[in-house]
């Protein structure tokens, strides 16, 4: 589990499958405890360094990167995926959130009304595809 701060990156899309949905569900209680986390996305990111795209947990937070919080996330990730898998964590600002939101729906948004609205929008988008 690495906390990343890349300068060049492109959000490619959303990482979504059965194990990813399980991971997202297990992360929600921790995210709800962290009042500084406003939203969370599980995105596919191209670092534009020649490497393969990576799966990144993108967190919109009022706080700087938090290693202890990332460690808690890493433990949950290890419960769902094998030890060979890797997850980067990006604590992002509003500018990066705008970029990720263009290709990926949040799986967590703080506040009940916001969460319901985003889940409804996600459902509608899935019905269109």
pLDDT-derived band at 129 (thresholds 50, 70, 90) equals low
Q: What percent of the chain has pLDDT over 70?
A: 88
Rounded CA-CA distance 129/115 in Å is 22
Greater pLDDT, 1 or 41: 41
Query: SS3 letters for 90-123?
Result: EEECHHHHHHHHCCCCCCEECCHHHHHHHHHHHH
Q: Which CATH architecture group holds 2-128?
A: 2-Layer Sandwich (3.30)
Residue 117's contacts (CB-CB under 8 Å, 6 or more residues apart) are 109
Look at residues 99, 115, 123, 3 and name the one whose alpha carbon lies nearest to residue 44. 99
Dihedral angle sign, alpha carbons of residues 18, 19, 22, 27: negative
CA distances from 16 to 21, 41, 60, 67, 123 (A): 7, 10, 19, 25, 14
Instruction: Write out pLDDT tens, residues 62-76.
Output: 878 788 888 899 999
Q: What is the pLDDT of residue 22?
A: 95
pLDDT of residue 113 exceeding 90, the answer is: no
């Amino acid at each position: 589990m690495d906390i990343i701060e890349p300068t060049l990156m492109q959000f490619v899309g959303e990482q979504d499958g059965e194990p990813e949905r399980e991971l997202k569900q297990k992360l929600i209680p921790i995210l709800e405890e962290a009042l500084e986390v406003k939203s969370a996305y599980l995105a596919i990111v191209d670092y534009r360094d020649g490497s393969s795209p990576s799966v990144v947990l993108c967190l919109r937070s009022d706080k700087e990167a938090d290693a202890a919080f990332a460690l808690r996330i890493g433990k949950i990730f290890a419960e769902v995926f094998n030890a060979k898998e890797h997850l980067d964590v990006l604590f992002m600002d509003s500018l990066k959130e705008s970029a990720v939101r263009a290709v990926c729906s949040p799986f967590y948004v703080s506040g009940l009304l916001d969460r319901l609205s985003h889940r409804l929008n996600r459902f509608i988008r899935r019905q269109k595809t």
